[in-house]
């Protein structure tokens, strides 16, 4: 962040004439990055390579590279590694939640050792790439047990191997908005500065079991029924999303089908993960119509015998007696008039 004000000061003092079709912003403000990397850019200040939006006068130093003639998209991180926190006080004694705020629940001694071991496993995993320039970048829930797990995992890495850490409130327990944040960060290459980027960056998300499962559900667009089949992560357990040959993230690159079935994934979900292994970013799986079983059953000849009036077997057969119901409420039932005939329409 310290370098960005200097860049903007350089722009303000720069004397190179601006083209007539580029308006000088009335008010300048500093931002770390554009959260919408595909915004409408109006021009580049000559000599500076600085991009700005002439409508709001906001400079985005990182995104100057996106609209220059020499722009090269940042490489996607090699992996997104999802890690649940180690064993906590609440995992051992649920009554701890009645005495301690959820955000203050700490790891147990066993949970600390689990986190350290997971850090070693992550290091072994990324070193298999055989690259010299690999690094890890951490996102962590702000809860005490996840931050302590982060410290334990970090024991496996030297300072130069850690590209950065971001405490992310949207990774906390039962907060599910992180997917959009991560996609934007990947698009703008937040993890590495321009000119020093590597395809061997590895992201580690240290969070909570439910939050990580919802993250997967939203990333891969699984249905609620498919989500409910999934088992929780074990303490300090991890799941690896890794880029396949086309550049998309698939769970089948690192994990076996047997491992994913044990996690609760269905055959249909595995078929989609197999497609993800070779697909490219931006491509859609058109053979995956509903990302799960069909929502409609009337196409099945065995269902209701093709009779649209027959009630499907999974519909409750409980009889409803309307004789004791409020007659005014019945006006809005099926095949009833929208309004009572005695009322005037105004």
Catalytic residue among 113, 117, 167, 173: 173
Total residues belonging to the chain: 346
Catalytic residue among 85, 114, 208, 255: 85
Write the CA distances from 294 to 63, 206, 216, 290, 300, integer angstroms: 42, 34, 21, 6, 10
The residues, any chain, with a CB within 8 Å of residue 182's CB and separated by 6 or more, are 80, 139, 203, 205
What is the Cα–Cα distance from 157 to 163, expressed in whole angstroms? Answer: 11
Catalytic-residue membership of 85: yes
* DSSP code of residue 178: H
DSSP 298-310: TTSTTSGGG-TTS
Taking the CA atoms of residue 67, residue 70, residue 73 and residue 75 in that order, the dihedral angle to the nearest 10 degrees is -150
* DSSP code of residue 88: B
DSSP 20-40: TTSPPPSS-EE-S--SSTT--
What is the Cα–Cα distance from 7 to 25, expressed in whole angstroms? Answer: 16
H or E element in which residue 255 lies: none
Active site residues: 85, 173
């Amino acid at each position: 962040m310290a370098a960005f004000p200097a860049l903007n000061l350089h722009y303000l003092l720069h004397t190179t004439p601006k083209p007539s079709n580029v308006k000088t912003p009335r008010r300048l403000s500093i931002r770390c990055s554009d959260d919408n990397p595909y915004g409408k850019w109006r021009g580049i200040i000559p000599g500076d390579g600085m991009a700005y939006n002439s409508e709001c006068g906001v400079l985005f130093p990182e995104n100057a590279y996106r609209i220059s003639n020499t722009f090269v998209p940042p490489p996607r991180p090699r992996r997104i590694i999802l890690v649940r926190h180690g064993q906590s006080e609440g995992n051992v004694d649920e009554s701890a939640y009645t005495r301690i705020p959820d955000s203050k629940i700490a790891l147990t001694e066993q949970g600390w050792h689990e986190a350290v071991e997971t850090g070693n496993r992550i290091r072994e995993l990324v070193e298999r790439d055989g690259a010299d320039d690999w690094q890890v970048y951490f996102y962590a829930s702000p809860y005490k047990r996840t931050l302590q797990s982060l410290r334990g995992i970090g024991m496996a890495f030297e300072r130069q191997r850690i590209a950065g850490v971001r405490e992310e409130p949207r990774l906390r327990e039962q907060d599910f908005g992180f997917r959009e944040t991560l996609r934007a960060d990947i698009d703008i290459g937040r993890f590495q500065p321009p000119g020093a980027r590597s395809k061997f960056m590895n992201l580690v998300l240290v969070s909570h079991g439910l939050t990580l499962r919802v993250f997967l559900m939203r990333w891969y667009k699984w249905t609620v029924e498919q989500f409910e089949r999934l088992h929780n992560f074990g303490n300090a357990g991890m799941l690896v999303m890794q880029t396949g040959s086309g550049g998309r993230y698939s769970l089948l690159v690192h994990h076996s089908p047997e491992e994913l079935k044990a996690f609760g994934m269905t055959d249909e979900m595995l078929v989609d993960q197999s497609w993800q292994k070779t697909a490219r970013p931006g491509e859609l799986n058109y053979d995956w119509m509903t990302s799960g079983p069909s929502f409609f059953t009337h196409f099945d000849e065995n269902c209701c015998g093709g009779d649209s009036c027959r009630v499907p077997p999974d519909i409750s057969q409980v009889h409803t007696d309307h004789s004791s119901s409020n007659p005014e409420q019945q006006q809005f039932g099926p095949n009833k008039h929208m309004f009572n005939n005695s009322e005037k329409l105004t």
